[in-house]
Structure 1
Amino acid sequence: MGDDHPSKYVKLSKDQALPAEDIKPGELNQPIDVPQLRVRKCCECGQALPESFEPPADEPWTTGICGCAEDTESCWTGLFCPCVLFGRNIEKLKEDTPWTTPCVCHAIFVEGGMALAVATAAFNGIDPNTSFLICEGLLFSWWMCGIYTGLVRQSLQKKYHLKNSPCDPCMVHCCMHWCALCQEHREMKGRLSDDAAVPMTMVNPPPVQEMGAGRDHQHSTPSASNDGNHTTLEMQAL
């Protein structure tokens, strides 16, 4: 069998063989530059963006930092229970986070620090050493709260492409904490409100008619001679 069908492969000699290339360690693992893949990507999801894409411009806040009276409910909640209002804001901003967790954190650093300062002043009196410790503890807790709540405000601005109002988010919460909480609540309430009424029109279909062989045919004859195919629809606006 081997003599009838000779092999088509030709064995090369050492002189005819191609010289082996020296491959350095790691040379085959180098990345390859593909011009078609050099596109802009979204910083949030990593998807490729078209060449004509332009990021949306920053929008102003719908309400001002001092417009707390525009929403009475959030104004009173932020004044007497700021921890609850802060928890509701985070729950609307991050759906996977319950409002109780940020509420407890806010209550420990802010309301807890104030309550501790009042209790220390009431039971031990106010002296230079005690006043220094109270102020130091309050400043530290307020600084921590300003950073934490400022990061939340920054996430809100990034999500809705809002401008800094009126300055850096952390500085806003350090200087005007309660006003900032109310403003953030009003902003999300206006953008995520489910109470907006959408005008709709309800169309009631005509009643079901049954066709008979004798009497129904006689009743249907006069109506057909009036206007032909005429259907009455009842429309009711909501």
Structure 2
Amino acid sequence: MGERAESRYVKLTKDHGPLEDITPGELNQPIEVPQLAVHKCMECGQPLPESYTPPSDEAWMTGIFGCAEDRENCLTGLFCPCVLFGRNVESLHEETPWTGPCICHAIFIEGGIALATATAIFNGYIDPGTSFLIFEGLFFTWWMCGIYTGQVRQTLQKKYHLENSPCDPCCVHCCMHWCALCQEHREMKGRLFDNAFSEATIVNAPPIQEMKSSDNKENPETSSDNSHKHTGLELQPV
């Protein structure tokens, strides 16, 4: 008979101390299993691949030219577009304060418009070559700002699975920057309002319950009197 295989268990004696200190409850912590953390389809429940992205086919709540639907939003975007852009970024990224994007927008967009206006006014006093370089630099800056603000719009579209309306986000901001800012603000405002309304729970008070005695039930006083009445039976000796 061959030798017995060595046991995997170690026999502890009194001389052995604890190998490691275990905090109570440490072994009951949940374990993340990557194989179980899979995305599933909301309709059929089938697992989806990691590279799956939901289709961006939902329509916007308002059109690109619906600025008049929100008067306050329209006036803010017309006279202070930097403030409106900062609010949009803050609503989209809660960890980012609105002041940073607002200052950047004011420097590059409003500052560029002011420089272009001043260059056009003093066109006769500035060398034509210098004016051409200024306008070329402003055009390049406007294009870069359109790409940046377009990325913010694209992030909004990915968050709510919105379609490109009316075209690519960067092109929308390059051609219709103020209208795009107002549309994005209205979209986030409407989405937040819908989420708050859907998450609200309406609790109705329970109806008032009253205990009423039934008509067929005898009066307790009458029943007690009947129980104390003597029967008409007489006991006679045999």
- TM bracket, shorter-chain basis: 0.5 to 0.7
Count of matched residue positions in the alignment of Structure 1 and Structure 2 = 173
Tell me what 1:64 maps to.
63
Tell me the CA shift for residue 201 of structure 1. 6.4
Pick from 35, 38, 48: which aligns with 2:38? Answer: 48
Classify 1:69/1:199 alpha carbon distance in 2 versus 1 (closer, same or farther; 3 Å): farther
Query: Is 1:103 paired with 2:106?
Result: no
Query: Is 1:186 paired with 2:186?
Result: yes
- Superposed CA deviations along residues 120-177 of structure 1, whole A, max 9, x for unmatched, are 4445635522431231122011011101000000000000000000111100000000
Are the equivalent residues in 1 in contact too, given 2:77–2:84 (CA < 8 A)? yes
Scaled by the length of structure 2, the TM-score of the pair is 0.62
Classify 1:77/1:38 alpha carbon distance in 2 versus 1 (closer, same or farther; 3 Å): closer
User: SS of 1:184's equivalent?
Assistant: helix
Classify 1:118/1:174 alpha carbon distance in 2 versus 1 (closer, same or farther; 3 Å): same
Are the equivalent residues in 1 in contact too, given 2:149–2:173 (CA < 8 A)? yes
Unaligned runs of 5+ in 2: 5-32, 215-238
Larger displacement relative to structure 2 (92-101 or 110-119) = 110-119
Residues 131-210 of structure 1: pairs in structure 2 closer than 5 A: 131-193=131-193, 200=202, 203=205
Are the equivalent residues in 1 in contact too, given 2:62–2:187 (CA < 8 A)? yes
Tell me what 1:8 maps to.
3
Tell me what 1:112 maps to.
111
Scaled by the length of structure 1, the TM-score of the pair is 0.62
Are the equivalent residues in 2 in contact too, given 1:91–1:98 (CA < 8 A)? yes
Q: Percent identity?
A: 65
Q: CA RMSD in A?
A: 3.6
